[in-house]
Chains A and B, each alone.
Chain A
Amino acid sequence: MAEKRRAIVKIKPKKYVVGDIVKVSFMVQHPMETGMAKDKETGEVKSAHYIEDITFSFEGEPFTKMKVWESISADPFFSVQYKVEKAGKITVDYTDNLGEKNTKSKKVKPKKAKTENA
């Protein structure tokens, strides 16, 4: 349980201004066991262990929610689009079926928009 999971939140493209639509992707190290696979050495069925809920939020306001089941690959990856309105923080909360809760966040820093009259 106490095993620390490595997670990444990425925003693409790297340079964006207010009003741009960016791709927010989230990756996490997780076994995503289905509860059907057997251990190759002992022959015992491994118990199910998978992520159930993922919430993407900006400054505490959720904008995308996901409900996940076992059929997602190990070390899962999800990406959605988001329209940048101001600087802040995107936070991703995820919970798995054993009750393990984690969060990962990424700062949103839009570049200054180019002045068109210059």
Chain B
Amino acid sequence: MERRKFIKNIMAVSATVAVPSMVFADLNASKKTVSTIEGNTTRKVSNIPTVKGTNDLPYEEALKAIIGEAELKDAKKVKLTVPEIAENGAVVPVKVSVESPMTQEDYVKSIHILNTKNANSRCVDVMLTVKNAEAKFASRVKLAESQDIVAVVGLSDGTFMKVAKSVKVTIGGCG
């Protein structure tokens, strides 16, 4: 008999413990949804799905905006130096050098550095002149994930050259 009572008691206790906790859990859940519907936390909620900068531009569009409908060559004259593996995506060194005489007739007009998967795929546009005497540029960029770095070089005759290299990023560097 004692054993039966004991089991009964245990059952009762466990029930009383379990039921309220479930009820509270439900209440908590409902509170959360209500608050979001009411809009108390609309600012935070809206921030989560739309993690976007002010001037987002996917890679394809950015490339189109730069070259328009001009020719695009895959050139050997452009040398793009990036690390194969970047441990920290917040600082990825990029070097571009272009073989060019840099005279008034034939010079490198611009160097554009793009990435393929960041929210804003444009990094920097450099407009060079003859006074630079050598078409070389170096900087450091942020990469959110493993992707390609693309250097688009515009020449004075209106043609463009493109070189792409992939970078493996172990820790993303965009927020």
Q: Are A64 and B126 in contact (CB under 8 A)?
A: yes
Would A73 and B128 be within 8 Å (CB), given that A34-B175, A48-B53, A79-B139 are in contact?
A: no
Which A residues are CB-close (under 8 A) to B44? 43
Q: Which of B52, B115, B127, B135 contacts A71 (CB 8 A)?
A: B115
Q: Are B140 and A67 in contact (CB under 8 A)?
A: no
B134 within 8 A of A: yes
Q: Are B132 and A64 in contact (CB under 8 A)?
A: yes
Q: For the complex, what is the distance from the CA of A34 to the CA of B172, rounded to whole Å?
A: 13
B37 within 8 A of A: no
**Chain A interface mostly:** strand
Which A residues are CB-close (under 8 A) to B115? 71
Q: For the complex, what is the distance from the CA of A113 to the CA of B126, rounded to whole Å?
A: 32
Chain B min CB distance to A22 (Å): 9
5 pairs of residues in contact across A and B, judged by CB atoms under 8 Å:
A34-B53, A34-B175, A71-B174, A76-B139, A78-B137
Closest 3 CB pairs of A and B: A37-B175, A83-B133, A81-B134
The residues of B with any CB-CB pair to A shorter than 8 Å are 44, 47, 51-55, 90-92, 115, 118-129, 131-143, 173-175
